Amino acid sequence: MDYITMNFDGRRLHAPDMRQILFINQRYDRRIDDFFDKHYEECRTLFKNRGYDFIYAPKIYTPEFCWELLSYNFPEMPANILESRLRKNSLDYILDYPVRYLYDAFTAVYGQTDQKFFTGLVTPVVTENFYLKDHYPELCNYKMSGTRQFRLFPLDLAAEEEMFARMEEILEWKQENDPEPDRCLESRIGWTSDDMFPEEAYKLMDEIRERVELLRGMGVNEMILRPILDALPGWLSELVITSDFRILLPDYEKEIVLYPLPKAVFFLFLRHPEGIRIKCMPDYRDELLRIYRQIMGDRYDSSMEESIDMLTTPYHNSINEKCSRIREAFLKEMDESVAQYYFVTGQRATAKRIRLDRKMVRWEREL
């Protein structure tokens, strides 16, 4: 199997998700556009059936996507200012950056001697660098820095049947030789919810994961966008809890939507800036129940207390699931560089807490 491997500066591209495979080409070719105009969804299905996400940049990095990407990375920037900055900068530069950066990096090292290598599929390589301290690959997308390693498989322009056959061949080779890291390398027998927090509380539902991976994944990161847009250093929005328990970020003009149970957990941690150890959750049962009852109001029923019992049982995973929903709600609205101050974080055997300075929290109604 022909391929070339390259290391990239991880500060220039976000840590890739191991499921993503990106098509790049050395220069515009109408045949490529025609092929993907007809077969893009078939390609996506082919890769999806093997557990991978296929990305052909022109189908994703549209001006609409660019606007979403910029709003996501810079929630503090009002829409009218963002729009004016965009008028002064080329959308093409921003939209083409991931493909151009990968292509330029490959050609800088390997030169132009063998042009066939610069049209093909680029995929992240599983290396030891992608393992976190406790073998939690779910965190790779957001916590790793430094070198990224990619592998480029040449994909010659050919008859459509041959293109699909070549893609199949590459996928088979990758699955046999470059498997995705195991989700966990240790036995979970006897694990508490605190043991599983670094993995479980960082999981995202599939539909949220796909959106976040597109906005981050092999895309342009905040370090590149900020100088392009001449953006001011980011700032955090005040967090407002309204009298009817809505969660607002007024400086970003955003509302964070949570179901009652995760909202109750969010409010509990918000009330305790010192943090809460998962093993101590039973000590907070009555407080959590009181918060939940206030949120539910007339909808509250005593049968709901079972959910509170599960949340405060150290050997039940419910608390991690609710922390995951909290994290998800913020990542739907903004990049993690900002969102991390608002959701519950912490390592194994440490207190879990919300990092936001409580001077920036305003309660319109005391709990």
Cα–Cα distance for residue pair 299/295, rounded to 1 Å: 9
158 alpha-carbon distance from chain centroid: 35
Higher pLDDT, 258 or 137: 258
Residue 315 CA to residue 276 CA, distance in Å, equals 16
Q: Is the pTM of this model over 0.75?
A: no
Looking at residue 323, its pLDDT comes to 92
pLDDT over 90 at 316, yes or no: no
Please measure the distance between the N-terminal and C-terminal CA atoms of the chain and give it in whole angstroms.
62
Q: Give the rounded percent of residues in the chain with a pLDDT score beyond 70.
A: 63
**Three-state helix/strand/coil letters over 94-132:** HHHHHHHHHHHHHHHHHCCCCHHHHCEEEEECCCHHHCC
Does residue 221 register a pLDDT over 60?
no
Architecture of the 239-363 domain: Orthogonal Bundle (1.10)
Measured distance CA(288)–CA(290) in Å, rounded: 5
Give the pair of three-digit tokens for residue 361.
């929290």
pLDDT band at 367 (very low <50, low <70, confident <90, very high): confident
Most trustworthy range by pLDDT among 104-118, 173-187, 255-269: 255-269
Task: Report pLDDT for 1.
Answer: 79
**In the chain, what are the domain boundaries?**
4-193+206-229, 239-363
Coil/strand/helix, residue 362: strand
* pLDDT above 60 (res 223): no
Give tens-digit pLDDT for 34-80: 888 899 999 989 998 888 888 887 777 676 777 777 777 778 777 77
What's the whole-number average pLDDT of the chain?
Answer: 75
Residue 20 has pLDDT above 90, yes or no: no
Using 50, 70 and 90 to split pLDDT, how confident is the model at 216? low
**Maximum Cα interatomic distance, the chain, rounded to a whole number of Å:** 73
Q: Go through 135-168 and write b for each residue having 16 or more CB atoms within 10 A of its CB, e for each that does not.
A: ebbbbbbbebeeebbbbbbbbeeeeeeebeebbe
φ and ψ of 197, to 5 deg: -55, -45
